[in-house]
Structure 1
Amino acid sequence: MGLGEGMSVRSDLDHLPADRRREIADLVLPAILSSFEDAHGRSVTGWKKKGRIHKIVLYGSFARGTWVYEPHTKKAYSSDYDLLVMVNRKQVVENVEYWSALDEKFIEARAKGQLLSLPSIIVHTRQEVHNALAEGRYFFQDVIKDGILLYDADDTPFPKPRPKTAADKLGLAKEYYAEWFPSAGEFYDAYEFALRKERLPNAAFQLHQSVEHLYNAALTVLTFYTPHNHNIRALRGMVDKLDRRFVHVWPRDFRWQNAAFNVLRDAYVKARYAKRGYKITKDQLEWLGGIARDLAEVVQEVCTGRIAELQIEANLEGSDQIEPGYPARAMSLEDRT
């Protein structure tokens, strides 16, 4: 489907099997739209009443036709339905409670066997998406290039992207790494302090933030994009698709491992605002902290490797503004003993 004079995105699901087409068109999409209408319809006031969805785009493996569905293997891996939801207001994007509740509904439906795959939703305003495309952000370019338009209530065209030089990419990657990786270490220090004091909900929140910032470091260095999503399950899924080294960081073979991760995932909201109802054990926190250290090592390895590649590209491009070599690492999450 053409969208004005800018970039275009197709709108057919013909490459998918019939059961997948039905699931996306008859279950996932209506669930998102009806849930949004309930939360932002006539019965609410203020900015919620003015909240609108402009577009919903399916991107990633199901858009490209490269999805994986292996329910009978040991890992029981299934690709997510990656969805970009474009809305009209920043307050809608930042309504963490609403989007987390929607995510929980899909998780429950998947657990009951009502869905073959989980939707993984990122939310941005139309202006954010247009700005990112105009700036040449690769993630959004790929979303629009490979994506499938599932819902369109807005005929505003996507702008054409601005090409980036190798020096541009190197500068951004260094900037993002210096922003996210050290802050992950600071949150990890706060986690260790809270754990020693046995302030378990606070320790969980600090560790959640450390993991979130590690994933943001990887995403921004590799794709120049992060959804600013506090759902670490969604962030983990995005990063796992970028480099296979991330897939093996979080053990997922046993129920207790998945349960511990889910408790950490909930910490951003529940550990702060529902402390009495939020339960996490010291053993879980210690295990999760060890996994976070492993994650930090992989993030550092992947990010510094990518920055080194960009340095070579910038040198070949002939830029005299970039110093050769990679600066000393900003900060690592070490096992402090």
Structure 2
Amino acid sequence: MKTSLDHLPEGKQRELAHVVETVREGFARATAQRTQPRFRNGKLLKIILFGSYARGDWVEDPVGRYFSDYDLLIVVSHDDLTDMAEFWEKTEAKLLADLSAGTVLRTPVSLIYHSLDDVNDKLRLGRYFFMDILRDGITLFEEPGHSFVEPQPLSPEQALRETREYYEDWFGTAQEFIEGAGFHRGKGHLNLAAFNYHQSVERLYHCLFLVRTLYSPKSHNLNRLRDLAEELEPSLKTVWPRETRFEKRCYSLLRDAYIKARYSRAYRITEEELDWIAQRVALLQNLVREACESRIETLAKAA
């Protein structure tokens, strides 16, 4: 894998050095007080930059209010250490605070966590997402002696079969949640309708990831899923406009619906806000359908 950041401006290189230091220090603090040897002796093995900043095609568009993230793969010694709440929540909070302060960090950071065994299993299964990281990624930190395995590409027939199965499953259940949202709106259950719209959007994003890369991040965070999906399929940037207070509030209500719509008495959403969300979900559904069916058509020709 590559190790040079020479294609990035010096300011970006300094930011990434700060991110790497923050991730390493955060992991060290999260494991230092653990009593179980499995946790106390856990290791941070690799930090790898992937995505647009690794490839060199990142976007900074103040007018359109779109900025590429630093996408980082964090590789640890075993799966238990990938638990977000247990080991990484404070690190992500620190990076978000640094971004808000705007002194040492001015670029958003998106982290994904996997064990070395998990990454190697996915490479053996021919998962494009991880194969692309090996091809284009840049190693920012690495403990010696923990190599990735050689990828095993899928045959065109295997890729087509798996892709079709993912599309039928995830796109189909996304449609079921959309129908569920309509049912609950008809009954006046507006909070449950919002939750169902959240679930439909989450599944549409996962559908896109799985169809295009045979991999999807383990997350319910719509901001993270949205950012990754928009990088993968730029046409999706049109789905969630954020020009007005109303648009921002509607998206926030959708984003928060996963937890708050079900459990918080303070959560309130109106029919007008649900109407806006429903329109944007319909647009997202159409764009994901087009992107997925185009991918399947390409694979079918190759098979």
TM-score category, normalised to shorter length: 0.7 to 0.9
Kindly state the Cα deviation for residue 297 of structure 1 after the two structures are TM-superposed. Answer: 0.9
2:289 is matched with: 300
2:32 matched residue in structure 1: 41
| Residue in 1 that maps onto 2:180 | 190
Within the alignment, does 1:19 sit opposite 2:11 as a pair? yes
* C-alpha separation in 1, matches of 2:90 and 2:251: 17
C-alpha distance in 1, partners of 2:88/2:167? 27
Q: Given the alignment, which residue of 250, 263, 288 partners 1:260?
A: 250
CA contact (8 A) 2:26 2:90 kept: no
Which residue of 2 is the match for residue 175 of structure 1?
A: 165
Secondary structure, counterpart of 1:250 in structure 2: coil
Identity of aligned residues (%): 37
> How has the CA–CA distance of structure 1 residues 249 and 196 changed in structure 2, closer, same or farther, with 3 Å as cutoff?
same
Q: Give RMSD over aligned pairs.
A: 2.6
* Cα distance in 2, alignment partners of residues 278 and 88 from structure 1: 40
CA contact (8 A) 1:219 1:225 kept: yes
In structure 2, distance between residues paired with 1:105 and 1:284: 32
Once the two structures are superposed, residues 72-122 of structure 1 have per-residue CA deviations (whole angstroms, 9 ceiling, x without a partner) of x2x122111011112234344343586566545544543443432101112
CA distance 1:92–1:265, change in 2 (3 Å): farther
Corresponding residue to 1:240 among 223, 230, 233: 230
Please state how far the C-alpha of 1:62 moved relative to its aligned partner: 0.9
CA deviation string 1:191-212 (max 9, x = no partner): 3333344444433332222111
Distance in 1 between the 2:160 and 2:196 partners? 30
Question: CA separation in 1, counterparts of 2:225 and 2:188?
Answer: 28
Query: Alignment partner of 2:258: what SS?
Result: helix
What TM-score do you get using the length of structure 1 for normalisation?
A: 0.79
Amino acid at match of 2:66: Y
Corresponding residue to 2:120 among 115, 125, 130: 130
Tell me the residue number matched to 2:107.
117
SS at 2:65 equivalent: coil
Q: Aligned partners of 1:275 and 1:182: how far apart in 2? A: 29
Which residue of structure 2 lines up, in the alignment, with residue 143 of structure 1? Answer: 133
Q: Which ranges in structure 1 are unaligned for 5 or more consecutive residues? A: 1-8, 315-337
Cα offsets for 1:40-78 (capped at 9, x unmatched): 33157697656543221111111122212222x2x1221
Map residues 75-90 of structure 1 onto 2, 5 A cutoff: 75-90=64-79
Displacement of 1:127: 1.5
Shift of 1:172: 1.3
What is the CA–CA distance in structure 1 between the aligned matches of 2:229 and 2:99, rounded to whole Å? 22
Counterpart of 2:22 (choices 25, 31, 34) is 31
Partner of residue 332, structure 1: none
Partners in 1 of 2:284 and 2:76 — Cα distance? 32
Q: Is the 8 A contact 1:201 1:275 kept in 2?
A: no
Pair 1:93-2:85 in alignment: no
- String of CA shifts for 1:200-226, please: whole Å, max 9, x gaps: 443333222211110111111111111
> Which structure is higher in helix share?
2
Deviates more, 1:168-177 or 1:258-267: 258-267
For 1:303 and 1:285, locate their aligned partners in 2 and report how far apart those are by CA, in whole Å: 26
> How far is the alpha carbon of 1:156 from its aligned partner?
1.4
Partner of 2:55: 64
Query: Which range moved further: 174-183 or 283-292?
Result: 283-292
User: CA 1:270–1:29 in structure 2 vs 1: closer, same or farther (change >3 Å)?
Assistant: farther
The normalised TM-score by structure 2 is: 0.88
Residue 247 of structure 1: SS of its match in structure 2? helix
Match of 1:286 among 269, 275, 285: 275
Matches within 5 A, 1:157-168: 157-168=147-158
